[in-house]
Structure 1
């Protein structure tokens, strides 16, 4: 068994090696070096984050990270994850990474650690790893997918016509690039919509600048497939005429699209706008050559789960949030 050593990663030099390890360990969500660099460079400086890599024979074989849960921040709660290349498993790499990450956050007064794994075969060993260390399953998120070649996109013609007849126009992000308020209006709309998503979390609001980094500057975002519902009759002081939106990202390493956020203001629900936004994205992707689309919804979100089924999405996996309460060391 070849010895390994832990060290802090160096960016951008280690980005490609980290992407390779993460992609091999989690083939359902592979990443690119560009994506890894963006994650590192766009981190919110107001929150603690730390990473460790395991190096064996001059090769990065494992990577782990942990930090404040900036999406639902409490100073004592941390979110983490680790990946070990399949070729290097069974040698204590995962244990060493885990112990080092926990040591670092214990020193900061951490009382709780959260992470997420799927029920897909490649995560089975990871789930057992967590259970042995006292993690408990607390929350489920369902993954569903469809391929545009299997979707009957004309089945929604009446829906699209009805939404348009109601005065709503679906505009892609590039089509709204000339609106100087676009980013600020979307920022306000995003905050309103996320507070209505049943995620089992108390959300922390990001700054406008951080939101733009995370969302609009994300290299995975496909602006031409991401749509905003615009109702010119609305003039909300925060969201203006924007009443809903849906974003599409592209996993370049996995060659599939994924839905980020889809939502509509409370006052405008029941008009078919959310479904129309998703259909617009599906049609745009089909026109661009087609492909698979994945979406992720928390288990209590019955309305969105039902809508996705109507659109043709089928359940492919369950992703479970695991939580560990750290006991005080004696």
Structure 2
């Protein structure tokens, strides 16, 4: 997290959706923070996602419990029926997992984190793949070049929605407005347009996506000093041609040319095809991120009914 990213999230949040944030202060210093709100990506009026974090030196004093209790109260006042959050199986998250388990949260969905460093990959080995894609008449264009196209944002918005229909997310997907999607995705301060690529078929003139048939984005976490893949996908009729793999290779080559670095990617457990592709590219699993859920009985409802 960076101040710029936090400001972007705050200023770009959909005002139609509920969100609340609380902080814990001690001697004028913020020692804990909690947030809770609707998920614009998977919206249900009764479902809320949240997070509680406490400074290491302030843990073990009930700060996290107090923040959680207040967020839970606010959620229940709104008739919440489900709370969600996500933690990894890394050592630093074990106390958080114990905190959730003690409060009745249950693991509901796994997402695998994998990573590679461009210095550890023979990017020249994928030359034939890129030549095959080019021979098909498909161009891999940097997003930075396409943003000057007045139809770029609209086409990517439509393409993104079509691609996400086939991503196994374990939750119902909500379609954001075009304006909100652009704020969340294309105006993200972490996005690296010069490292993100769009597959373009010049012969295609679709009314929704135009010549765009797939894309892959790279963001850069400045605080953590690593890149991460946001979305990679190709339209159904263009699959089986190596396009998705080529998009990732193009991004990896661009990052390597810019000095190289680590790239992380995240795949839901049922997405076996993408997991296999990433392994073929050199990604190796580093963690499992689990979505934890707590089912609530709305106030005034008989739990035995």
TM range (shorter): over 0.9
Match of residue 245 from structure 1: 215
Extract unaligned runs of 5+ from structure 2.
301-305
Match of residue 24 from structure 2: 54
Listed as ranges, the matches of 1:194-273 within 5 Å are 194-273=164-243
Among 94, 113, 123, which residue is 1:153 paired with? 123
Match of residue 163 from structure 1: 133
Match of residue 56 from structure 2: 86
Separation of aligned partners in 2, 1:174 and 1:247: 11
Determine if contact 2:190/2:221 at 8 Å carries over to the other structure. yes
Shift in Å, 1:327: 2.9
Superimposed CA distance per residue, residues 107-130 of structure 1 (whole angstroms, 9 cap, x where no aligned partner): 111010011000001100000000
Determine if contact 2:80/2:298 at 8 Å carries over to the other structure. no
TM-score (norm 2): 0.97
Question: Superposition RMSD on alpha carbons, in Å?
Answer: 0.8
Among 94, 112, 120, which residue is 2:90 paired with? 120
Kindly indicate whether structure 1 or structure 2 has the higher relative contact order, using CA contacts under 8 Å at least 6 residues apart. 2
Listed as ranges, the matches of 1:105-116 within 5 Å are 105-116=75-86
Extract unaligned runs of 5+ from structure 1.
1-30
Shift in Å, 1:178: 2.9
| 1:278 counterpart = 2:278 | no
Shift in Å, 1:146: 0.2
| 1:315 counterpart = 2:265 | no
Among 178, 184, 192, which residue is 2:154 paired with? 184
Superimposed CA distance per residue, residues 134-158 of structure 1 (whole angstroms, 9 cap, x where no aligned partner): 0000000000000000011011000
Shift in Å, 1:326: 1.1
List structure 1 runs of 4+ shifted beyond 6 angstroms: none
Separation of aligned partners in 2, 1:224 and 1:300: 30
Q: When the two structures are aligned, how many residues end up with a matched partner?
A: 300
Shift in Å, 1:320: 0.1
Greater Cα shift, 203-212 or 174-183: 174-183
* Residue 48 to residue 328, structure 1, CA distance change in 2 (3 Å): closer
TM-score (norm 1): 0.90
Secondary structure of the residue that 2:72 maps to in structure 1?
helix
Shift in Å, 1:329: 5.1
